[in-house]
Amino acid sequence: TSSDAAELLLALIDEQSRVLYWNSLTHETQLELSLVRIRGDLSPMLMQPAVRNWVLAQLQECLATEGSAQTANVFVETPHGWLQELVVASLLNANCSLKEAQTEGSLLKEEDHMFGFESYCNKVERAREVILSAKGQFSVDFDLLIGSLLALERRELEWWEGARLSTQSLLNA
């Protein structure tokens, strides 16, 4: 399986440096490999403890330093696109249906007649439906999901370009 292959890959030791394969990689390579998708939907590397812990450390560093004098380097270390992909990967790994989050004209017209609190409640309910649609072997990794959503919200960025559900709506769900 893809998770077994990921586990074997991470167990390798770099012969030159004598460190685990994951730790021998450059930061940019770690960013890319952490979100590699298998069969379009599954990101098995995120389910491996070494990778998950590394991702959590990246999120913690991002959230701790954004808004401080060190912010300029944060965007390089944790790029916007990577954070957005992390949200999607966290949801897809739990087999969540992203259909409710996609832009669809007929569903948008329904929300055109709602204002204020009613509109807010509807958006939060739709976000809950996305998260609660998780089915299958794995559940939503809320540590990764919430951390990446918080970082995106601080940057005032959407979690998915053109999504009907805002980053804040997913956080509120």
Q: Tell me, what amino acid is at 167?
A: T
Residues 140, 14: Cα–Cα separation, whole Å: 32
Name, in order, each residue with C-beta under 8 angstroms of 158's C-beta and a sequence gap of 6 or more. Answer: 84, 152, 166, 167
Distance CA 78, CA 17 (A): 26
| Residue 124 banded pLDDT, cuts 50, 70, 90 | confident
- Mean pLDDT value of segment 165-172: 92
- Residue 106 clears pLDDT 60, i.e. is over it: no
pLDDT on residue 108:
47
CB 34 within 8 A of CB 46: yes
- How much is the pLDDT for 145? 96
Q: What is the pLDDT of residue 105?
A: 46
**pLDDT confidence of residue 70:** 52
> Residue 162: its pLDDT value, please?
82
Burial tier of 127 (Cβ tally within 10 Å: 0-12, 13-18, 19+): buried
User: Average pLDDT, whole number, for the chain?
Assistant: 84
Q: DSSP for 43-90, please give it.
A: -GGGGSHHHHHHHHHHHHHHHHHTTSTTHHHHHHHS-HHHHHHHHHHH
